[in-house]
Amino acid sequence: MRDVAVVAFAQSHHVRREQQRNEVEMVMPVLHQVKADAGLDQSQIDFTCSGSTDYLAGSAFSFVMTLDGVGASPPISESHVEMDGAWALYEAWVKIQTGAADTALVYAYGKSSPGDLRSVLTRQLDPYFQAPLWPDSVAMAALQARACIEAGVTSVEEMAEVAARSRRSAADNPYAYLQGSDDPAVLLKEPEIAAPLRKHDCAPITDGAAAIILAAGDRAREISDAPAWIRGIDHRIDAHGIGLRDLTVAASARLAAEKAGVGAGPVDVAELHAPFTHQEVLVRSALGLGDGVSVNPSGGPLAANPMIAAGLIRIGEAAGRISRGEAGRAVAHATSGPCLQQNLVCVLEGSNT
């Protein structure tokens, strides 16, 4: 395998509702920023890959218009996944592994605010047996949370602690949307919105975008003084139906973590894409992260969760900790689908480890 590193990361200031700018206007400043940080123009980028979903944009081929933000003239080698940007990064990493590219631009965006996200996400379900019932994403997560509590995997008290810790950490993150939190005891006095979930257990609906530049070997060292090297990356998918799998373990996250080599060394920081508090507990366990690991110091998805970009942001945030020398070894995680159906795990290290 070639050594590939994250050499630049940029993200938008995430908001509840981006009303002034369309998708291309939202993504363009982020693309300009990440290229400026890397000191590259588009002609120096060998491969470009993006992630988006038409169901958020409300139009078919929505990625076609955001290509206008890239500067794809003269024509570029480019691809797109209808998935979180973390999987776009995976495709770009594979492309670099083939030797056909030394540098890659990855970007993703999600503007969830124009539609009713809970309804929109029901369209992600089995169209014959589940989607006609319109079970919304929060209700399904609540079923999972209930199963986890009954299995002794977590408790509403622990979940409230996850929420408070995440949003307090977000106070140090200028890009986060929700910053600061009441004490867990106060949070637990709030009413349930889908038992056992309370509002604080759920990620906020967020609009935002993010971009990363990858580079291989010496090219990475030329671009960055402190590249965050990808030491392992893997993704796996579970059965779709929530009745077909044990909701109290994230089996595909565990498998991806094994394949990515999370356990091969100590982990300083983990950025986990867990849009519900109980899911952080589940993913932490699936990845085998001990109590000493700093989880979601950025605030994580509970502080800002622009769908489709949020997984990519986890990789960017983890890489940032490495590049700033705040961590020697970091783990980033991304998820997709109902109740953690699909999971990606990426292990990053600095140059000295």
| Residue 249 binds another protein (CB under 8 A) | no
User: Does residue 194 sit in helix, strand or coil?
Assistant: strand
Q: What angle do CA 12, 316, 110 make, to 5 degrees?
A: 45
| Residue 53 binds another protein (CB under 8 A) | yes
Q: How far is the CB of 276 from another protein (least distance, A)?
A: 17
One residue of 154, 169, 173, 341 binding another protein per CB under 8 A: 341
Look up residue 72 and give its two tokens.
């794809």
| Residue 72 binds another protein (CB under 8 A) | yes
Calpha distance 190→31 (Å, rounded): 40
Instruction: Give how far Cα 80 sits from Cα of 64, 66, 77, 84, 169, Å.
Output: 10, 11, 11, 10, 32
In degrees rounded to 5, what are phi and psi of residue 346? Answer: -130, 130
| Residue 258 binds another protein (CB under 8 A) | no
Which one, 41 or 190, has the nearer CB to another protein? 41
One residue of 2, 13, 17, 324 binding another protein per CB under 8 A: 2
| Residue 133 binds another protein (CB under 8 A) | no
| Residue 219 binds another protein (CB under 8 A) | no
One residue of 46, 161, 201, 234 binding another protein per CB under 8 A: 234
Instruction: Give how far Cα 351 sits from Cα of 221, 325, 331, Å.
Output: 10, 10, 15
| Residue 22 binds another protein (CB under 8 A) | no
| Residue 80 binds another protein (CB under 8 A) | yes
Residue window 280-319: x/- pattern of binding to another protein, with contact defined by CB under 8 A = ----------------------------------------
Beta bridge partners of 104: 47, 214
Q: What angle do CA 330, 335, 339 make, to 5 degrees?
A: 130
Q: What angle do CA 251, 344, 99 make, to 5 degrees?
A: 135
Q: Which stretch binds another protein (CB under 8 A): 32-40, 142-150, 157-165, 250-258?
A: 250-258
| Residue 77 binds another protein (CB under 8 A) | yes
Contacts of 326 (CB under 8 A, 6+ apart): 268, 269
Q: Which residues bind another protein (CB under 8 A)?
A: 1-2, 48, 53-55, 59-61, 63-65, 67-68, 72-83, 87, 90-91, 94-95, 97-100, 120-121, 123-128, 131, 234-241, 244, 251-252, 255, 336-338, 341-342
